Structure 1
Amino acid sequence: MSSPKILSVDDSRMIHTLINKGFAPYDVQMFFASNGAEGLEAAAKEKPDVILLDVTMPVMDGVECLGKLKADPALKDIPVIMLTAEAGKENVLKIAKMGVRDYIVKPFTEANVIDRVSRLVTLKPKSAAAAPAPAAAAPAAKKARIATDAIKILVVDEHPAIAESIAKAVSKRGWKVVPCAGPAEAQPHIASTVSSEETPDVILVSLAFPGKGALKFYQSVRMNPTLKGIPMVGLSVKTAIFDQNEAKETGYIAIFTKPLELGELPDRIARAMDLDITPIFYSSEGDCQVVSIPQDLSETGSIDLTRQSRKKVADFVNAGFSKLIIDLTGVTKFEIPLIRAVASIIHECNGLDIKWRIVGDDADNLPNLPTVISTNLKVAALKELPNPFTNTAPLDIYPTRAAAAAAF
């Protein structure tokens, strides 16, 4: 027997995300449409077992869509659950007379939807039996690392100043640097006898050691089973192209060229380690989420924050949050990394119906953010970024997070 088909017709991505998350544990097929016209097309094509139909939508609203469904002999028997923001008796009677099977008043929870749908179709949990049983118990998955963890960096470089500059650059993250002047000195830190608490989380190695020292050191590290997955990064002058290519072929995950860009370094290390950097920027205050974007946001940090914020903002919706405060306190200049991050986060919020407010202390320039972003989206570094603003009217800027929260 095939799994039930559920069609969600709503113009809100937030509602689709909530519904999709709710049914994720069940063996169902989900389909989505953003208005009544698309809903009719999807219903005709997929023949769903249940339709969740919003009342208020553009192009074709839910009432008109319901009428067309009931007028179609091939679709009239599909049970429809209406989603409505109005719980009044007249509204309920109106949709009831049109042949809906049930209705849910917004806002609702995942449990509300699952309960109503389960009255119409059988919902079975996804079976774990379909997956082949492992020959032996698998080890527990390691917790994903985040940028606020206590990261230990082993730096193997013949110049002490390199390790010192790296230590200074990552100190604001609370990361620790262990300096070694060469592969021999670093051997005790990668030995199989070293406890997991003492092993490095990432290793930066100079490619200038004689006798292919960096390549041999790489092999030594990989001989320790506990270090097979540790990221290793080569340090090299820009002109040593042969050494860089050889290191990449050996297995070095990235090459940082000297002189090191210290402002970019913490975020480049985080990228090499595939760390989640969002905990550096995001926090919660009451029923609001907050993202604090600093003036000195690096280019690497901006790109990765933009990419990781897509999931972060969607997670807000899944967790029931619908308000985001964008804190730009201390920002006085609109540079490319900052513009990229702000524009992309606002774009994600708009798409998921998350309300947002901006906090800042530059009352002269921050209100002009729509104009600044719209103008800068023409530059090459930002040309792929969608414009989150439909006009360039000045924004309201709030002096504190409390003031912004009160304005929702």
Structure 2
Amino acid sequence: MAPYASDDSTTAAEGREPGTRRRRAARYVVPVAVTGVAAATIGLVPALADAGDPDLPDITAQQLIEKIATSDVQRLSGTVKISTDLGLPDLGGLVDGMAGGLAGGMASGSPGQDDGGSAADPSARLTELVSGTHTLRVAADGPDRQKLSLLENAAEYSLIHDGEDVWGYDSASNEVYHATVPGSAGERTKERRQMPATPRELTEEALKAVDDTTSVTVDGTAQVAGRDAYKLLIKPRQEGSTIGAVSVAVDAKTGLPLKFTLTPAGGGAAVVDAGFTQVSFAKPPASTFDFTPPEGAKITEDGGTDRAPETGRKTEGDRAGERGGIEVIGEGWNTIAAFDTGGQGLPAATGGGGLGDLGDVGGFLGSFGDEVSGSFGSGTVFSTRLVNALVTEDGKVYAGTVTKEALVKAADARK
């Protein structure tokens, strides 16, 4: 991402300080930046506290983003509540069965795993966060020690990173997953951040989308988990996005994002709402990151990311080559990903087709979509409260956080 740019405006507070002037917002690069994204226009309106909210010093959005970027919280522990509501239909056991089959297929490429995979594999377990409400306990002691525990009704799933070791433990099944992540501390930190789960990681992902198609302002102050915070408001300037706004509560002292809320353009409850309900910046006890597999536990060793694929098993590169790769259409918040499955759209009720041999599932899934047509032909749009996807009759797929009309327009233009 290119450095954020600001104009030469000063805040009202600066005008009240004769003979002095706060430095203008610096040009800098956010650590999670994506190369090539244009400079953003950042609002320079200082935060104004609402009634009952903490009265904090004035700050501009540019300065607040810089505060997030330079935040260096290495140690913390706390509880995070995350709620996700994509508006997906309740397909009951069908979804469970399909998810289990996919998880088993992914896991079968790993030495030491059976066809059913491991109940403690984080690649499957952390996907549970994409729906419903969950409570997480989190702890960190520098880049080499982190722990995340997903609390359930009568069980707990824990993911522990301690040096080069990563342990996953599912208490319900008494299964253990173990992997190693060799390399520098920075490389290991990058490796562990594959599934955003905390307000900080969600905020980093949101900031990647900030460019000149985005409005960024400071929207008052708040208290989160007993701490004073500024509220950063990120909104698309473009029409056609399903994203209404992203609100981030940023700890006034440390710059750590404490709460992340994404609301849809269509209104209603938040699609994602993740925030600390309790947080401490004291050093967690060393015992927090200790793990020894319980007696009798089934242990699955991951073979690592450098293992060779099984004979006859297609790699992601093979599949991408077959479907012609992913094409990016549009810019900013209206970006659409398009690719060709090389098939015939949704599978017929008898099975077959470009999306896999799903049998009667193909016709069943089609009933949840909206039929659309245009100069591209015809197809089906599957909608959630955030992400929409168009599957055309000739097997092309268009997906993004955009409206149904934007998908049809993109398909017509690409014909």
- Bin for the TM-score computed over the shorter chain: under 0.3
Larger fraction in helix: 1
Larger fraction in strand: 2
Question: Which structure has the larger Rg over C-alpha atoms?
Answer: 1
